[in-house]
């Protein structure tokens, strides 16, 4: 495996650079990384991920000072190649590590990085795990409460888990039977279908959420996180009903960046655990996650005659080739042929 990977060299392209930000020189490196990322409005998830990669990078080279981080190119190549050969990481993981290191050198240390040639992580060809309609129904049926409603939206609308959890009240359009995904993968918005059967249940759920929101307002809370600079442009919007999360958390939480107390959406771990428990109860041997229901949405839509371009738009794929992985279901039996055993 190592020899095979070592034969595949990767020349990393240089991403677009943004306006330079000079961090506070009195801060430590990780504190400077956080400061610059917050000034550039990176998400808290990306911030944590990049900081983790910086720690791993420093430990890998046993760096004791910032001067030890130079020259950048051979050190980055050694680390990225180690991830591919010894770490056996996925392609996306290696790309994330590269982007994190490039951010540190260019945006924090202000060091221009040249061509990076490292071993490329391999991308194995895999087909998605898909439930049959009966299996999907069995899993959803044994679930209950909020997590069941989340899974119904994932399967009924083809959402990613975080896209479902980040839905706001004003993203739902019951009259048009559609919902809007804001700032999805690739920072894109899109429309997708809203299942008619879920509308009554979703309406009852929103009534309970609104009662809790009104109680929060009476207690002096009721605010949610707003993206970008909307909280400064519209100071009262964070407490408006339309901006509330469709699936709010049970308890209030403190924003780790600002210290502001807000009600966030429910944790994705809660949904993962509920799905795992439901799959175990119904006795399905497949490896099922929240993304399995998104795969099943696309697969079952194609089986019912939906156009591949329509599926592409609903899923939010940039390239139709990504959506084509679901066409395997149109060739029943793997390759569209009948097994010789069935002809005996």
Q: Which residues are catalytic?
A: 160, 185, 291, 294, 317, 326
Cα(200)–Cα(217) distance, integer angstroms: 26
CB 57 within 8 A of CB 79: yes
Three-state DSSP state, 117: strand
Strands, E, within the chain: which ranges? 9-12, 116-119, 172-173, 178-181, 190-193, 253-254, 261-262
- The residue behind tokens 């221009």 is 112
CB 151 within 8 A of CB 275: yes
Q: Which of 307, 286, 290, 289 has the alpha carbon at shortest distance from 298?
A: 307
List CB contacts of 311: < 8 A, sequence separation 6 or more: 158, 298, 301, 302, 323, 326
Cα(201)–Cα(325) distance, integer angstroms: 32
């Amino acid at each position: 495996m190592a020899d095979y990977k070592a034969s595949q060299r990767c020349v990393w392209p240089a991403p677009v650079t943004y306006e330079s930000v000079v961090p506070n020189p009195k801060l430590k490196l990780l504190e400077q990384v956080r400061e610059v990322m917050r000034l550039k409005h990176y998400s808290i998830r990306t911030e944590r991920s990049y900081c983790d990669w910086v720690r791993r990078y420093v430990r890998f080279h046993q760096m004791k000072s910032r001067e030890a981080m130079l020259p950048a190119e051979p050190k980055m190549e050694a680390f990225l190649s180690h991830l591919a050969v010894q770490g056996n990481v996925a392609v996306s993981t290696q790309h994330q590590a590269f982007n994190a290191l490039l951010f540190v050198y260019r945006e924090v240390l202000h060091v221009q990085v040249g061509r990076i040639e490292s071993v490329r992580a391999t991308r194995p060809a895999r087909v998605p795990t898909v439930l049959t309609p009966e299996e999907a129904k069995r899993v959803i049926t044994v679930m209950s409460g909020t997590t069941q409603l989340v899974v119904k939206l994932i399967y009924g609308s083809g959402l990613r888990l975080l896209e479902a959890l980040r839905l706001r009240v004003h993203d739902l359009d019951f009259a048009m039977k559609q919902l809007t995904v804001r700032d999805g993968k690739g920072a894109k918005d899109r429309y997708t279908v809203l299942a008619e059967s879920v509308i009554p249940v979703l309406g009852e759920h929103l009534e309970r959420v609104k009662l809790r929101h009104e109680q929060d307002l009476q207690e002096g809370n009721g605010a949610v996180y707003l993206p970008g600079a909307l909280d400064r442009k519209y100071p009262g919007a964070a407490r408006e009903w339309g901006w509330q999360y469709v699936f709010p958390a049970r308890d209030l939480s403190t924003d780790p960046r600002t210290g502001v107390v807000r009600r966030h959406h429910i944790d994705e771990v809660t949904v993962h655990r509920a799905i795992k428990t439901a799959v175990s109860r119904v006795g399905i041997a497949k490896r099922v996650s929240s993304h399995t229901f998104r795969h099943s949405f696309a697969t079952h839509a194609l089986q019912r005659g939906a156009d591949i371009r329509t599926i592409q738009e609903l899923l939010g794929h940039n390239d139709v080739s990504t959506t084509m992985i679901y066409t395997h279901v149109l060739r029943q039996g793997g390759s569209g042929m009948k097994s010789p055993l069935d002809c005996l």
